[in-house]
Each structure stands twice: as structure tokens, then as C-alpha cells.
Amino acid sequence: MASFLCPPHLRPAIAAIYWFARTADDIADEGDAPPSVRLDDLACFRSDLRAMAAGLAHGGRWPHVFDPLGRVLRDFRLPTALLKQLLDAFEQDVRFTAAGRRYQTDAELLDYCSRSANPVGRLLLHLYGVDDAASLAQSDQICSALQLINFWQDVSVDVPRARWYPTAQAMQQHGVRDADLQADSPSPAATNLIAAYASSARARMLKGASLACRIPGRAGWELRLVVQGGLRILDKIEAMNFATWRARPKLGLLDLPILLWRAWRMG
């Protein structure tokens, strides 16, 4: 996120946001801690955020997160409501996994994206000084698309961990059973499901893509590459006939020239 394409004076702020999100996500998702411990840790994390927002000292457990974040909150007047939305999403992840719950409708899944992904784009636009309604809406399209692309890219990783992002609604619509999304399945129904989801994610990304051309300078080029990275993953999903329950497609160095070419052509 804080690559050489980002404006240098914003790199510490972007890094602080990244470490906040990365650490909270790891609390929710990594290691062997039981759900109750994860939720307690996230509650402590949220308490430290409230303290920093009020100009008070944090608890000292995550100084690598809250020391730099405190400076960013002060210097850039970062909206803490957006950071709290990220924590809401991470807590929801823990509760859903612990209870074996699944998203019932695509609208529910998009509501989750509105808290797990969209706040990141809005935080970055805040740093860039962009706050008009049209840009925020396009940012939401890009961020939700990226989150959804990640879901459909990671089916082979998520399903064995009991993380089900294909919704009950969509699985019923396409006639997909749980067994169809296991690694050894040749299911045409599952192919149609992931293909439909990939098509929807691509359309969402393209709705927001022109935002990258309106943000000037290096930040705009960074966003162009983010957009093209997501679209390139969709290309790879299509190239494997959408069978992401068998393997996880990913980007490599050979994709970089393609991304740079496509990002340049966006102008």
C-alpha cells in the first residue's frame, strides 16, 4: 500500500492504517486462539482505538500499531468511525466462523464488504483530500470488488477452514451443494456459480475504475495498478475455467508488464 507510487508525505499514514487493519485481521483470523479470546482481544484493540481518538494513552499491548496511528489521527484528523467499521467486520468474521454461520443473500455479503473493505478506500481518499460523493461511491465499488475477487480467488483456501462466502441464495440458484466446492469436485454447477460471481465483481470494478484517472499524480497510478491487479486475477480465474475450489490463482512477476501496460492505457 505504501509503495514508491504513493506520495512520500502520506506513506507513514498509509502504513499506520495498514498495520491497524493487518493486526486486527490477524487477531480475528490467525493462530489457534478460541473465538472468545479473539473477541476479547478485538475488544481491547477497540478500547485502545477509543483511547487514541480521545487523546489518551493506549494500553501498551500493540505499540507498533497505536503509536504511529495516534500521530495520524492527530495530524490528518482521520475518521475513527471508518476504523471502527473495520473492527466490526473482523468481529463478524469470528462470530460467523465460530457459529458455522453463512451469508444467506448476496445483499448480506455486500453489507459485510461495506465494513470490511470500503472503509479502507475512504480512509485513503481522506488522506488524498478527496471527499465528494461521486468519488466515495466509486471507491466503494472498487473496494467491494476487490473484497469479492479475493473471496472467489480463495475458495480452495476458505472452504477447508469453514469460511463460506458463496451465499445460500446463490448456491441454491445455481444448484450448488457443499460437496461441489470440495477440491476433487468436477462440478459444472460450481463453475457456473464462480463464473457468475466473477462477472459481477468485474462489472463492479469497472463501475469504479475511472476514479483512478481522476486522482492526480502518483496516488492515481497506484490506484490504477490496484484496479488492474483485481481485473487480472479475474482473468486468471476465467483461464482456469473458474475452478477456484481446486487451486488458488495468483499474480506473479510475469504479470507486472501486463499490469503496467493496462494501467497506462486507462489514461
Q: In this predicted model, what pLDDT tens digit does every residue of 174-185 receive, in sequence order?
A: 999 999 999 999
Residue given cell 480465474 in the structure block: 237
- pLDDT category at 217 given cuts 50, 70, 90 is confident
DSSP 183: T
Q: How far is it, in rounded angstroms, from Cα 28 to Cα 46?
A: 13
pLDDT for position 258: 96
List, as one string, the DSSP characters of 114-144: HHHTHHHHHHHHHHHT---HHHHHHHHHHHH
Position 234, amino acid:
L
246-257: pLDDT as tens digits: 999 999 999 999
DSSP 8-state symbol, 30? S
Cell numbers of 74, please?
492527530
The alpha carbon of 58 is separated from its chain's Cα centroid by a whole number of angstroms, namely 26
Asked whether the predicted pLDDT for residue 2 surpasses 80, the reply is no
May I ask the CATH class of domain 103-267? mainly alpha
Domain with CATH 1.10.600.10 in the chain: 103-267
Tell me: pLDDT of 1 over 60. no
Average pLDDT, integer, range 230-251: 97
Q: pLDDT digit string (tens) for 121-167? A: 999 999 999 999 999 999 999 999 999 999 999 999 999 988 899 99
Confidence category of residue 3, pLDDT binned at 50, 70, 90:
low
How far apart (Å, rounded) are the C-alpha atoms in residues 134 and 142? Answer: 13
d(CA 99, CA 139): 32
Which pLDDT does position 110 carry in this prediction? 97
